Amino acid sequence: MLVAAALVVAVAAWRGLPETHGHGGHPPRVRDMLATARMLLGEPLFVHCIVQSAVVYAIFFVFISLSPHIMVDALGRSGTEFGLYYLFIAVGYFLGNWSVGRLASPRGQHWMVSTGLTIQLVAAAAGLALVLMHVEHPLSIFIPMGVLAYGQGLTLPSVTASAVSLTRENVGVASSVIGFLPQLIGALALQGMGHFPTDTALPMMVFCAAVAVLGYVVVRFAPSFDVVRTQ
Q: Where along the chain do its domains lie?
A: 44-220
Query: Cα(69)–Cα(49) distance, rounded to whole angstroms?
Result: 31
Among candidate residues 185, 205, 114, the one with its CA nearest the CA of residue 151: 114
Q: Which amino acid is at 88?
A: F
Query: CA nearest 204: which of 32, 77, 84, 59?
Result: 59
Query: Would the pLDDT of 223 be above 80?
Result: no
- Inter-residue long-range contacts of 187-191, CB under 8 Å, 24+ positions, other chains counted: 187/61, 189/58, 189/61, 189/62, 190/58, 190/61, 190/62, 190/65
Confidence of residue 220 (pLDDT cuts 50, 70, 90): confident
Amino acid at 222: A
CA distance 101 to 111: 13
Residue 104 per-residue DSSP state = H
Element at 45 (helix H, strand E): helix 44-73
Q: Output the CA torsion sign for 112, 113, 118, 119.
A: positive
pTM: 0.85
Query: Do 137 and 14 form a contact (C-beta atoms < 8 A)?
Result: no
Mean pLDDT for the stretch of residues 71-82: 89
Average pLDDT over residues 26-51: 87
State the Rg of the chain over Cα.
19
Q: What is the pLDDT of residues 165-215, one digit of tens each?
A: 887 777 888 899 999 999 999 999 999 999 999 999 999 999 999 999 999
DSSP states along 198-210? SSSSHHHHHHHHH
**Mean pLDDT computed over 137-145:** 95
Residue from 104, 88, 103 nearest 147 by CA: 88
- Residue 18 carries which DSSP code? -
Q: Is the pLDDT of residue 6 over 60?
A: yes
- Superfamily for the 44-220 domain: MFS general substrate transporter like domains (1.20.1250.20)
Residue 228 parent element (H or E) = none
For 137, the enclosing helix (H) or strand (E) is none
State the DSSP code for 222.
Answer: S
